Structure 1
Amino acid sequence: MSVNATTVSAGEALRVLEAGWAAQAAGGLTASWMLHGRPGVGKTEVVQTLARRIGADLFDLRLTTIEPQDLRGLPFFDHERARTVWYRPEDLPDGDGPAILFLDELTAAAPALQPTVYGLLQERRVGRHRLPDSVLIVAAGNRVEDGAIAYDMGTALSDRLIHVIVQASAEDWLKTYAVPAGIHPSVAAFIRTRPDLLETTEDSLRRGQMIACTPRSWTRVSRIMDTVPDRALRQVMVAGTVGAAPAAEFALLADEIAATVQVDAMLATPRRERAAMYPRTLHGLTALVYGLIGAATRENLSTAIEILADLRGLGGQGYSGLPVSELASFGFELLIGRALERGWEEVFGQSPDYAAYAAERQAAGLP
C-alpha cells in the first residue's frame, strides 16, 4: 500500500516533530510518529538533531536486530509470591527527564515483533512497564517501493501512528544540514550547482544500478575529502559511494576548487590584497562561501564579513554574468545563522561592512 501522507524535507520534518514534542509537553497531544522515506534521506539525522535541540536522551532501537523478548523482557519465577514476573529491558526509557524512543527500521522488522510494538505505539507500555509522559516515540523506515527490505504496514500498525514522508531537498540540505555538519566546501558547491544529484535512488533503481546518490552518501564523500589526501585513492572511494558517473563529474569540480579556493589564506591576508584571491568561477565562489562559513570563529568573524561584503562588489571586475551579489547574500544568511547559534551576534552589530549591507537591502525593500 502507498503512504498517502504529506511529503516534506528533512528540515520540515524536524519542525513537525518539534511541534509535536511541544504539544506533548504541554499535555495537549500524545502520539507516536512515523518517518517514511528512501534510504539515506536523513530520517535518523532528524531524530538525532531533535534530541540535541530538546535536550533529550535518545534510546535508539534497531528493530531488525531484536526479538520480541528484547522489548518484553525476560521472565523469572518469584517463588515467594508464586507468580512469574518480568525483567524489564534496559533499552526502554524510565526516567523523568526528556527522552526519545526511536524505533528505527520499523517497516523491516519481523512480523512476529509487531504485536509487541503495538503496545508501545498505542498504549506506551510493554507488559507492566509504562513509558513516562516525558518520552516522545518516533519510528522510521523505508517503503516497499524504495528498493530496501521492507514489509507493507498493516492497518493495525498504521492506525497507531502519525505519518510523515521525508524526501531529500537540496535547498533544505544545504541550508539546514551542510554547515552544522561541516560538509566539505567542494561537496556543498557541487550539490548547489547539481541539486538533481543529491538523491538519485529512483533513477538508479530504474537503471538497475546498485549505488545511488543520497544525502547520507554525500556526507560520506565529505568525510573522504577531509581525510584522504591521495587523489587517485580518493576517487575510487567516491565512485564506490555515489557511483562512477557522479564521481567523475564531482572530481572535476573538486580539482577546480582545490586549485582556486584559499579560505585560510584569505582570512589571513590584509583586505587590500584579497581581491586577486577570489575564485573566477561560480563553483569556486560557491565553495568559498561554504568554506568561509565553516572556518568562521568569533576571532575571524569580522574578516569573514569583510570577504562577503567585498564579494558583492566584484560584479564589475571581470565577474560579469556571475551572481556574486546573490552568493554574498546567501553567505550572509548562513553566517548570521552560525553567529546566532554560537552567540556571536555582537560581532555583526559592530561591523560597518554588515551595517552597510543591511542598509542597502533595507533601501531596496528587501528583508
Structure 2
Amino acid sequence: MTVEEYKDLVRTLISSNSFDMSVLAIGKPGIGKTQAIFDLADELDIEVFYLPFSTLADRTDIRIGVPDKETGRMVFLYSEELPTTDKSGILLLDDITDADRYLMASAKSLLYERKLSRYRVPDNVIVVATGNPIEEGGLTAIDKKSTTRVLKVDVEVSLKGWIKWAKDKGIHPLVIQFISYKPDALYYDDGNTVIAPRNWEIVSKAIKSKVRLSYIADQLGSIYVEFKVFAETYKSRTKFKKTWSKICSKKQPDHDVVKSMKKEELYIFVMGFISYLLDIKNEKTVIKAVEWITSNPLIDDEYKTVFMKSLLERRDTLASSDDIIEIVSELSIGE
C-alpha cells in the first residue's frame, strides 16, 4: 500500500478505538513511513511517543534495573518515551529492523504483547512499528510467524501522493517540478547512491536556504548533473507560463514557438506543462493542449511519450477520453 493508505489505516484504527491492533509497516528507507505518523499525530492533535531503534545502544536505553534499598529486590525504571498518559497517542517503534537480537526482543514484546516486563502500554495508545526489508538495509529480519500477531503492511512510495504531500509541506517548487518530469528520481538507486523522498526534503531545505547546488551533490548522486541543468533552465519558467497560457487559450500559437529552445529547455517546457495543466479544470482545454504537444513535429516522440505517461498518472480521468485514447495509441504507450 502507499504511504497515504498506511497513514489512513492507522487513522481508522485510532478513530474506531482499535488501539489494541498493532501495526508493522515495512518498506524502503526514507519513503516517509515515520513522517506519516508524525503528520497524522499533528492532524489528530495527539502525542507520539518515539523510540528510534536505530540509535538505541542496548536494552538499558528502554529499561534499567536498579536494586530497591528497602527490599533488595531488582526494580525496573523505564524510558520516559514509554507512554503513561490517559490521553490517546501513538507509540512509534521506529526502525525496529535495525535492532540487535536483544533489543528486538524488547521491540517484539511492545509490539505483539503491548508490554515490557511489568510495564503495560496504556489502553488508549496504539503501537506502530516501522522497519526496512533485509535487502534494503534492515539488520534483523521479521520472521513470518511473528507477523501473524500484528497487522503487517508493505509500504511503497506513490508519486501522486508524494507530490500532494510536498505541496502541502511547502517543498520547493523546483524539486516538485523536477520529480514531475522525472518520476523515477523520487526513489532512485544507481548502485552507489540511494535517493529517497527524504533526500528531496533535504534538497528543498538547502535550496530555500540559498545553499549552492554543488554543496548538495552528494545527496543526489548521479542525478545531480541532470538536476543542475534542470535548475538552470527552471529560471525560464516565467516565459514558459506565457506560452502555456497561449496554448490553452482559444488562439493557439504556431508550433514554431518552441523552435528556438535548446533540447534541455524544450524538455523542461514540455514536462513543466504537466503541473500547469493539473490546475486547469476544463478537460476540453487540457485535451486541446495535449493535442498541441503531441502533434508538434519539433518535439521528440520520446518527450511526447514521457509527457503523456506522466500526465495520465496524475490525471487519470483523461484516460477515458476518445481523443486521448487515440493519442496514446499513436504514441504506442504501454507497448
Per the normalisation by structure 1, the TM-score is 0.65
* Equivalent residue, structure 2, for 1:213: 195
Alpha-carbon separation, structure 2, partners of 1:143 and 1:221? 25
Residue type matched to 1:152 in 2?
A: A
Query: Closer, same or farther in 2 for the Cα pair 1:121/1:310, shift >3 Å?
Result: closer
Residue among 195, 201, 206 paired with 1:224: 206
Q: How does 1:79-94 map to 2 (within 5 A)?
A: 79=70, 81=71, 83-94=73-84
What is the letter of the counterpart of residue 158 of structure 1?
T
CA shift digits 1:110-163 (9 cap, x unpaired)? 1012222232122212222211111111111111111x1422223564343221
1:77 matched to which residue of 2? 68
2-structure distance, mates of 1:154, 1:316: 54
Report if the CA contact (8 A) 1:257-1:287 is conserved.
no
Residues paired across the two proteins, number: 280
Q: Secondary structure at the match of 1:164?
A: strand
The equivalent of 2:175 in structure 1 is 187
Residue ranges of structure 2 left out of the alignment (5+ in a row): 241-251, 254-264, 295-306, 316-335
Q: 1:160 & 1:39 partners in 2: Cα distance?
A: 23
Say if 2:134 is the partner of 1:139. Answer: no
Equivalent position to 1:60, from 50, 56, 62: 50
Q: 2:139 aligns with which of 133, 147, 150?
A: 150
Distance 1:226 1:319, change over 3 A: farther
* Identical aligned residues as a percent: 26
8 Å CA contact retained: 2:26, 2:130: yes
Alignment of 1:244-255 (within 5 A): 244=222, 246-255=223-232
- Contact 1:76 1:84 (C-alpha < 8 Å) held by counterparts: yes
| Mapping of residues 234-313 of structure 1, within 5 Å | 234=213, 236-244=214-222, 246-261=223-238, 281-286=269-274
Say if 1:184 and 1:119 are closer, same or farther in 2 by CA, change over 3 A.
Answer: same
Which of 101, 123, 132 is residue 111 of structure 1 equivalent to? 101
Structure 1's unaligned 5+ residue stretches are: 1-7, 264-274, 291-304, 332-367
Pick one of 11, 14, 25 that aligns with 2:7: 14
Note if contact 2:96-2:107 (Cα within 8 Å) is conserved in structure 1: no
Which residue is equivalent to 1:360?
Answer: none
Give yes or no for contact 1:72–1:127 (8 Å, CA) kept in 2.
no
Alignment RMSD (CA, Å)? 3.6
Alignment-mate amino acid for residue 72 of structure 1: R
Say if 1:94 and 1:131, in contact at 8 Å, map to a contact too: yes
CA contact (8 A) 1:35 1:139 kept: yes
Q: Are the equivalent residues in 1 in contact too, given 2:63–2:78 (CA < 8 A)?
A: yes
Distance in 2, Cα, partners of 1:144 & 1:318? 43
Distance 1:284 1:113, change over 3 A: closer
Comparing 114-123 with 93-102, which one deviates more in the overlay? 114-123
